[in-house]
Structure 1
Amino acid sequence: MHIHVALQPLIALIAGILILIVPRLLNYVVAVYLIVVGLIGLMPLLHLS
């Protein structure tokens, strides 16, 4: 039997728990999220050149 767990909800859960434990971590979590989403959004443009 295979157990399939989606990665995004798992990351969100871990990030939420860490933010509750260390509220100052919220700044870093948001910054990393924005950088990753921005890089993923730019990927198609980077492969065209």
Structure 2
Amino acid sequence: MNQGVYVVVGAGPGIGLATAERFAQEGFPVALLARSAEKLKGYQQWFGQF
């Protein structure tokens, strides 16, 4: 069975990233969408630990 992908629309440093972290720790693939490419680069480095 396919478990799906957790998608955060409007990723930011609050609830969106906290829930994305939780899903990533549980093994879900995570997709982040944000208005700023620079912020996404920072989040990508942060998520590299999962």
Using structure 2 for the length normalisation, give the TM-score.
0.34
Q: Which has the higher contact order (CA 8 A, sep 6+)?
A: 2
